[in-house]
A and B are shown apart, each in its own frame.
Chain A
Amino acid sequence: MNSVHKSAYWFLAPAIILMIIIFGIPIIMALGLSLTDYSLGNPGANFVGLDNYEKIFTRSSYEKMFGATFRYVLVVVPLTVGLGLGAALLINSITRFGDLYKTIYFLPVMATLMAMAIVWQIMLHPSIGEINRFLQSGCEIGWLKNLLTLSFLGFEKMDTWFGRSCEDGMPNWLGDKDYAIWVVCFIGVWQGFGFNMVLYLAGLTSVSRELYMAAEMDGAKSSWERFRLVTWPALGPTTVFVVTISCIKAFQVFDIVEAFWTRGAGPSKTAYVMMYAIFEKGIKQNLIGIGASITIIFLIFVMMITLVQRYLVEKRVHYS
């Protein structure tokens, strides 16, 4: 019935041409440039072999880059996935107001991250920020202080974080290198878990009721048993997808870092994530060779994640 259609080429041509211009050429360019010391505005460039890569894997500032990126990814991915799943399960199991919670948790996904990061920055201000005011007020309420310093368990007040902070003053969240990257992680989790929650809620609707009944008949009485035997395996494909997409998003963190620190990516560069490095080296400092090398390494990471995903999908992660 279907004949060969010449018009198909006309329909595909714009898409193919744009794919080549926007994906093909830049990737090849990045590969080529990563082997040179090119700068925009220079007439030519020298071939430097793998020097750029060597620099990236030996110099301490790039060590910081990998440190910050992996810290962020390794904290944000499990937390956004875990909280997303937790919220979805809770919302799915309550009888009322489920839609309301869903709406609220989804708000940060919609909101302009740049704007919200600036709001967080003001809230995290060491002296006038609401967060430190709130914590400080906890120091003045006796029972709350006892609770948070764990002194009701027999701990010395000064041995706990909260107790020390009450005495020495609350932390300078964004100015202290011990806190900076973790605060960025927190904002990332705040922003991202609602998205995963919605994906999990969609996944949960496909878990069939019969499976639960069958599990119950086989003696899975507690809700934990039901989760372990039915829900979790049935959510396998969703989880693989959610983890992959969370990883790829986490690798791309940039807005929060730029919003918090107008220059420098955090105290002692503790929040020097990869996208920031590409931006700083490649565009601000015009060290295109280095920027291109980081781009290539970045692409390799992203590709690896996707390959693992494809492998898992093919292994048929769902046992249902």
Chain B
Amino acid sequence: MNFSIGQTIKHAILILGALIVIAPFYTMVSYSFKSQREIETGADTGFFGSQEVIIDEFCVHRGQPEREEVKDTLELYPEKTERDVYNILLDEVKKNCTKKPVFFNYQSAFTFAPLLRYLLNGVIVTVSIFLIQVIVALPAAYALAKLRFWGRDFAFSLVLFCLLIPVHAIALPLYIMLAKVGLTNTYAALIIPWTISVFGIFLMRQFFMTVPDDLIDAGRMDGMSEFSIIWKVMLPTAIPALLAFAIFSVVAHWNDYFWPRVVITGERNLFTPPIGMREYRADSDGTFYGPIMAVSTVIVTPLIVAFMLAQKRFIEGITLSGMK
């Protein structure tokens, strides 16, 4: 093995960088295991925390013995006072509400706000966006790449022009249009501005240019319509490019915060995961760090795990925009 000084210094720099990059991920997961007290005192209890049981105050509050319950129990133990019985019952509730911080954090993550609903919304929105983008972009890209017709250059320059404009930048007029037709606070509002991916059209066109014409002509000979050529001949050849585009699109829209923030104003049932995070931090003093870190972990994990499993494809997909 080769231990040159140069290599060692390079590794030292890269490791330092890696530590800074990883620090928030480490903190996030570690805090999602810890109790509020551990986080506030900063006690050194390792990555997983001490897992010393805590009493879940919300749970106690919910389970507080009712007057009826106290009366019923009082009949069984006539020698005790009402106060004693109440305390015994409360102790029972507390015992049931005692749990390890990790369970408390992740349970609160899903119960304090409808996190599952948010995740489901995230999936619905990202999947719909991607499917519509493909349905719109593929025929357009095919026409621009392989068909000859009057106005093609103009249509392509329109695509190139739209490529310059970030959709977020024109969020305000888009919002006004949606408000005018009464579509704010709907799934449609979350999806509509992204139904057209000019980048997708551009990308698929570049890809289709490389597909040999013979393949298309063979399809025509077999009597296929242009429409079925797109879906039966072109689509299968485009799978790798499409997969990369899928990753690009899903990552962008799963993580998008700005657009949902603009267009979903009151309807909590439509919150996507990044917007849903706001629900967990109502005010600065009352923030429960453990649960909110559990929420962050839950939201960030799916993409990170997918990324770890198919790194090459992800890097390819995300950096598609770098392709010339």
Contact = CB atoms under 8 A, between A and B. Distances in A.
Interface of A: 1-12, 14-16, 18-19, 21-23, 25-27, 29-30, 33, 40, 83, 87, 90-91, 93-95, 97, 99, 101-116, 118-120, 122-123, 128, 130, 133, 190, 194-195, 198-199, 202, 237-238, 241-242, 245, 248, 252, 254-255, 258, 262, 275, 278-279, 282-283, 288, 291-292, 295, 298-299, 302-303, 306
Contacts of B11: 94, 97
Contacts of A11: 139-140, 142-143, 147, 226, 230
A199 B169 contact: no
Contact of B171 (A116, A130, A194, A278): A278
B299 A299 contact: no
Contact of B147 (A2, A97, A103, A254): A2
B5 interface: no
Contact of A12 (B14, B139, B284, B318): B139
Given A118-B277, A118-B296, A25 B31 contact: no
13 contacts: A5-B149, A18-B136, A22-B192, A26-B170, A29-B173, A104-B21, A110-B304, A111-B255, A111-B303, A198-B315, A198-B322, A299-B165, A306-B164
Contact of A255 (B25, B144, B257): B257
B177 A29 contact: yes
A16 B318 contact: no
B136 A128 contact: no
The 6 A-B residue pairs with the shortest CB-CB distance, nearest first, are A11-B139, A26-B173, A15-B140, A18-B196, A115-B296, A114-B274
Nearest to A123: B27
A150 B165 CA distance: 48
Given A11-B142, A107-B25, A255 B258 contact: yes
B239 interface: no
Interface in B18-33: 18, 20-25, 27-28, 31
B73 interface: no
B183 interface: no
A15 B136 contact: yes
Given A15-B196, A23-B165, A295-B173, A87 B17 contact: yes
A306 B166 CA distance: 12
Given A23-B198, A118-B292, 7 more contacts: A2-B213, A8-B152, A11-B140, A14-B140, A115-B28, A119-B25, A302-B165
A291 to B, nearest CB: 5
Interface of B: 2, 7, 10-11, 13-14, 17-18, 20-25, 27-28, 31, 39-40, 42, 136-137, 139-140, 142-144, 146-150, 152, 155, 158-159, 162, 164-177, 179, 192-193, 195-196, 198, 201, 213, 217, 225-227, 230, 251, 254-255, 257-258, 261-262, 273-274, 277-278, 281, 284, 289, 292-293, 295-296, 299-300, 303-304, 307-308, 311, 314-315, 318-319, 321-322, 324
B303 to A, nearest CB: 5
B143 A12 contact: yes
Contacts of A130: 23, 27, 42
A119 B296 contact: yes
A112 B147 contact: no
A115 B300 contact: yes
Contacts of A116: 24, 28, 296, 300
Contacts of A133: 42
Contact of A295 (B169, B192, B196, B322): B169
Nearest to B275: A114
Contact of B315 (A106, A115, A262, A292): A106
Nearest to A28: B173
A23 B136 contact: no
A191 to B, nearest CB: 10
Given A94-B14, A119-B296, A303-B164, A111 B25 contact: yes
A87 B14 contact: yes
Most B C-beta atoms less than 10 A away, residue of A109, A115, A245: A115
A108 B21 contact: yes
Most A C-beta atoms less than 10 A away, residue of B24, B136, B284, B304: B24
A19 B25 contact: no
B176 A12 contact: no
Contacts of B321: 245
Nearest to B282: A262
Given A22-B167, A115-B274, A292 B148 contact: no
A258 B172 contact: no
Contacts of B164: 302-303, 306
Contacts of B179: 40
Contact of A26 (B136, B144, B174, B284): B174
A194 to B, nearest CB: 7
B299 A109 contact: no
B323 to A, nearest CB: 9
Nearest to B312: A99
Contacts of B225: 7
A3 B292 CA distance: 61
Contacts of B289: 122
A115 B277 contact: yes
Given A5-B226, A122-B289, A12 B144 contact: yes
A3 B21 contact: no
